[in-house]
Structure 1
Amino acid sequence: MTPPSWTDAPATGGSWFDGLRLALTTFTVAPVAGPRRLDRVVAGRAMTLGPVVGALLGALLGGLLAAFAAGLPALVAATLAVGLAALLSRGLHLDGLADTVDALGSYRSRERALEIMKSPEVGPFGVVALILVLLLQVGALAQLSARTISAVASAVAASVAGGRLAIAEACRRGVPAARPGGMGALVAGTVHPVALVPATLLVAALAVPAVPGRPWQGPAAVLASLIVVAALRVHLVRRFGGVTGDVLGFLSETATTVIAIGLILL
């Protein structure tokens, strides 16, 4: 995940509108202008607004999944939806997933692992991780596509928003950046922990209608994803010395997948 060019301006100023524009240009391919000001304050606001942007993107994808499923086999509809999710987010999170798994699988020193993560090449560990995660997401969405339109939209919105919530959690204050430049240095430690509360409640509320007759299951899936993400974040910070843009992408795809799977469990 690579942000627009930026300068490490003082942590003052910046508007929520700039944060929204940065969130849209970072998390989606929405044709909007970038922020007029780009510093760590604006970056923190963008990460805080990430779950909201994710909810909007997820609702769109959920509606498309329901439309596809009305005339296509479930697996085909789910594959199209997952492909569109990658397209509409420029595949940044999937790239981060592959790079992070490659770095973890190398068992090299911290410095060498960060070099592997930064490399544009994808190794065998990354390829396997991509295949596994995409298959899990397609399989989960295929199961979800048989539900009502509102349940499908709710499920996909919660899953995608939960992925962005994972990024916000990993950018909470006190979490360092693994290297001085890049996405991690811009956003690490910028999200106030209090801001995670309404964001979590939003994603949990979106998940309630996802499982008809079992309103607790959606919020439970969101909670499970946060526990998994927090545990992984602690390990990755210990392993790499902090977070990077690729680590954030890895955590986002992990949370999205955990929530989607949690919504189909009986």
Structure 2
Amino acid sequence: MTVLPAGAPRRVDRTVGGRAMLLAPLVGALIGGIATVVVVLAQLVKPDADLLAAVLGVLVVAGLSGGLHLDGLADFADALGSRRDRETMLRIMKQSDIGPFGVVAIVAVLLLDVAALTACLQAGFGWQAILIATTASRLTLPWACLKSIPPARPDGLGSMVAATVSPTAAALTTAAVLAAGLALSWLTSSGIGRLLGAAAAVLLAVVTSLLTSRRARRAIGGTTGDVLGATVEIALPVALLTLALIV
């Protein structure tokens, strides 16, 4: 989930994959924490440059993810944009090149990320927003890997983690992320709006995951690694926009 070095697990199977999906929000919190440090430092050096701080924060998140999720978003967008049959869509997603729909999708989400984070910074809720949003965006992974969502193909990353998470486990993980987001908002700021924003950002990220997974199941028969990456990248601007509009 990141380019950060980590030891290899002793065992890699679907059980381990399911556990990894449940731990994904912690990875989001780690990425968001590093991005937070960059945003805060940028504001200390140049207090009136909110746009610059937002760009740096978004680039850190994308860089620490290795661009993997953005690549998945591009592949999924190209597949859906082709409006072809299931097999053709899967073939498009497996190709290494990026088409026009993929380019537009990447540009769109990055612009939304930067614009929304800039608005949050201007509202005095910047570093909290990026931390909540990156965590919430990774919360989409347990929901995208529910046992009711099959893999679209028998091989690939998606087949390792698809249909590995129970609804109860996903709900408990969501409750933990929601509680953490509310606590962060309550401890670092004042106003009911920011509490509502944090709650809405987390819950809308879950809704985004369910809707994206539903679209993928209808289009290609299930989920893939590209779909999982797309879900993360779509949920991030959704969470940031929610916070920008509410707080």
Distance in 2 separating the partners of 1:153 and 1:118: 36
Q: With CA pairs under 8 Å and 6+ residues apart, which has the higher RCO, 1 or 2?
A: 2
The one of 179, 202, 218 aligned to 1:238:
218
Measure how far apart 1:65 and its partner are.
1.1
Residues 1:211 and 1:134: Cα distance change in structure 2 (over 3 Å) = farther
The counterpart of 1:193, out of the listed 153, 167, 174, is 167
CA distance in 1, matches of 2:148, 2:171: 17
Conserved? CA contact 2:118–2:126, under 8 Å: no
Find the partner of 2:122 among 146, 153, 156.
Answer: 146
Match of 1:129 in 2: 105
SS of the counterpart of 2:122?
Answer: coil
Q: Helix, strand or coil: the match of 1:220? A: helix
- Contact between 2:22 and 2:170, CA under 8 Å: does it hold in 1? yes
Structure 1 residue identity aligned to 2:151: A
**Counterpart in the other structure of 1:176:** 150
**Are 1:69 and 1:146, in contact at CA under 8 Å, matched by a contact in 2?**
no
CA drift of 1:147 comes to 5.0
Matched, 1:92 2:68: yes
Structure 1 unaligned blocks of 5 or more:
1-26
SS of residue in 2 equivalent to 1:145: helix
Indicate conservation of the 8 Å contact 1:60/1:153, yes or no.
no
Report if aligned partners of 1:78, 1:142 keep a CA contact under 8 Å in 2: yes
Residue 107 (structure 1) aligned with residue 87 (structure 2): no
What is the aligned length?
238
Mapped partners of 1:156, 1:48: distance in 2:
20
Q: Tell me the amino acid that sits aligned with residue 149 of structure 2.
A: V
Does structure 1 conserve the Cα–Cα contact (< 8 Å) formed by 2:197 and 2:242? yes
Counterpart residue identity of residue 86, structure 2 = R
Asked if residue 252 in structure 1 is aligned to residue 227 in structure 2, the reply is: no
Letter in 1 for 2:240: A
> Residues of 1 paired with 2:164 and 2:43: CA distance?
40
> Who is 1:117 aligned against?
93
Counterpart residue number, 1:18: none
Maintained 8 Å contact 2:133/2:201:
no
CA displacement 1:230-262 (0-9 Å, x = unmatched) = 122112111101100000000111111101000
Q: CA deviation at 1:211?
A: 6.7
Query: Contact 1:182/1:245 (CA < 8 Å) preserved in 2?
Result: yes
CA–CA distance in 2 between the matches of 1:248 and 1:170? 7
Structure 2 distance, partners of 1:77, 1:162, is 21
Local SS of the residue matching 1:174: coil
- The match for 1:66 is 40
Structure 1 vs Structure 2: percent identity of aligned residues? 43
TM value normalised by structure 2:
0.91
Which structure has more helix as a fraction of its residues? 2
Q: Which amino acid aligns with 2:65?
A: S
SS of the aligned residue for 2:154 comes to coil
Does residue 265 of structure 1 match 2:245? yes
Check conservation: 1:61, 1:81, Cα contact below 8 A: yes
Aligned amino acid, residue 15 of structure 2 = V
Distance 1:194 1:238 in 2: 24
The amino acid across from 2:227 in the alignment is: V
Deviations along 1:28-52, whole A, 9 cap, x unmatched? 1221121111000011101110011
1:197-216 matches, cutoff 5 A: 197-208=171-182, 209=185, 212-213=190-191, 214=193, 215-216=195-196
| RMSD of Structure 2 on Structure 1 (CA) | 1.6
Give the direction of change, closer, same or farther, for the CA distance of 1:211–1:174 in structure 2 (3 Å limit): farther
Counterparts of 2:73 and 2:178 in 1: how far apart (Å)?
24
- Could you say which residue in structure 2 is the equivalent of 1:160? 134
**One-letter amino acid of the counterpart of residue 233, structure 2:** E
Distance 1:165 1:228 in 2: 10
